[in-house]
Amino acid sequence: MSSKPMAGPTSEPAPASVPASPPAAARAEASAGAFIPAPSPVPALESDRPDFAAVPDRAKWRYKPRKDFWRSKLVRAIALITVLAICALAILAMVREETGTEGFLVGLGIATLPVPLLIAAFRWLDRVEPAPWKNLLFALAWGAFASTLVAILANSFAIDWISSISADPGSAESLGATAVAPVVEETAKGAALLLLFLFRRRDFTGPVDGLVYAGFTATGFAFTENILYLGNAFGEDQDLGSGGVSTTVATFFARIIMSPFAHPLFTSLTGLGLGFAALLATGAKFRRTRMWLLPITGLLLAMGLHATWNGSASFHPLAFVLVYVMFMVPVFAMLTWLAIWSRQKELRTIAGELPAYAAAGWLAPDEPMALASMRARATARGFAARGFGKPGSRAVGEYEAFATTLAFLRHRARRGQIPGDFTAREQELLHHLWERRQVASPALTYAARATGQVWVPPQYLDYGGYNPYRS
């Protein structure tokens, strides 16, 4: 590397480092809405071989091209996997005992059908800044095993307790499904979201993350619950004899066809509460109160919608259809709109933050518009794949991911959520971009033009490309 330093705060990281929180006076002004501390200016690129002085050692990188499991917190990872494995063995053994081996296998096969579709839907929603797979797999496993184990134990205990008091098992079942199950199940699923919010905070930055984590958690929960319901339905059909499958078909239609998004819909309200809490700026008015109020409100709404859904199914078939049409469909439509709007807002954030880095020389002029378009991103990866194969496509994909993280880092800093190591994190992301720009920059420039994201001048004026008239 050249000894010539990079201009701006990255050449002298210590003086330019941003404090973890603004001074008391600034915080007071921020709480009054008069002042939000701004991040340090974008460093200018003044050399073909910049010196990234503030970038930490590789072992301490926050943003890694590849996730290296063996360099992670191995002890905690093994402990978490062990707990989830124990929960899996326990809940699956309980379900098999309840349904019988044959019913368990039938339920397992049918319950698996909607899982890939739901995962693909939530993964599509998260394409702008994809969450790490380890977080998603944790959410899925927690919902499938830990949440269901807690729910089945707590619900059984509550129903037995209500039956002992009222001496009416029928009313106890109905009351448990309507009043107890929504509270227990939404709390158990919400625990996964809270753990991700607390311990994977940099990967939980807004409503889209809340929706995606909630979707994965609830998909896992619905998977295990569907095994139980479908297995029991198959067992009832077997008990009736004559090879009938009417109960199994009815259960399949109700749970797999009509309401595969039911549990994700309930839990997404909790995820949205945590997601909006993640957006709160450091100096926001009543920040501490809102940090508690938003998630609790989301959880209560999730419980309420879940209770309404369960109550309608227990009360009358027509009530079930009425709630489905009047509540579930509109809420699902509203959340779908909110998810798409949030995703478009993320793309607008990229388009608004990255031009500063293009002006400073880190990105080509057309790159920000390409990075703000999912179609242009895919086109750039395809263009690189044709020229450099899979390594080229992977390099462009990593470049897009680092550029997106850089845009959100500066956007959060602009909102007042400035981390103490802002300069080091910014330099690390610029370092990753610099290492891949030789392949990624031409691909993104091509994609911006090919998809119409930028105006393409006539050939004799196209000084950015081949021009036979240029001297």
DSSP state letters, 51-77: --TTPPPGGG-SS-SS--GGGS-HHHH
pLDDT of residue 13: 37
In sequence order, what are the residues at sequence separation of 6 or more whose Cβ sits closer than 8 angstroms to the Cβ of residue 158?
176, 180, 184
In angstroms, the CA 434 to CA 47 distance is 12
Confidence of residue 12 (pLDDT cuts 50, 70, 90): very low
Residue 131 DSSP code: P
Among 211, 182, 202, 197, CA closest to 124: 211
pLDDT of residue 381: 93
Average confidence (pLDDT) over 20-45: 50
- Helix then strand then coil, in percent of the chain rounded to 5, is 75, 0, 25
21 or 192, which is more confident? Answer: 192
Cβ contact 56:428 at 8 Å: yes
In angstroms, the CA 374 to CA 370 distance is 8
Please identify which residue in the block is written with the tokens 């981390």. 419
Cβ contact 248:237 at 8 Å: yes
Distance of CA 378 to the CA centre of its chain: 20
Query: Considering only 104-113, 252-261, 370-379, 386-395, which range has the smallest mean pLDDT?
Result: 252-261
Confidence of residue 229 (pLDDT cuts 50, 70, 90): very high
For residue range 266-321, list pLDDT tens digits in order.
999 999 999 999 888 766 677 788 889 999 999 999 999 999 888 887 776 677 77
In angstroms, the CA 180 to CA 187 distance is 11
In sequence order, what are the residues at sequence separation of 6 or more whose Cβ sits closer than 8 angstroms to the Cβ of residue 323?
308, 309, 312
pLDDT of residue 69: 44
What is the dihedral sign for C-alpha 386, 391, 395, 401? positive
Query: Considering only 180-184, 367-371, 408-412, which range has the smallest mean pLDDT?
Result: 408-412
Is the pLDDT score of 8 beyond 70? no
- Helices and strands, number each (H, E), in the chain: 18, 0
Choose the most confident range, by mean pLDDT, from 27-41, 49-63, 65-79, 216-230: 216-230
CA 139 vs CA 129, 131, 217, 233: distances in Å: 17, 11, 5, 28
pLDDT of residue 464: 57
What is the Cβ-side half-sphere exposure of residue 465, based on CA atoms within 13 angstroms?
Answer: 13
Confidence of residue 56 (pLDDT cuts 50, 70, 90): low
Please identify which residue in the block is written with the tokens 């200016």. 41
In angstroms, the CA 201 to CA 207 distance is 13
In sequence order, what are the residues at sequence separation of 6 or more whose Cβ sits closer than 8 angstroms to the Cβ of residue 87?
145, 146, 149
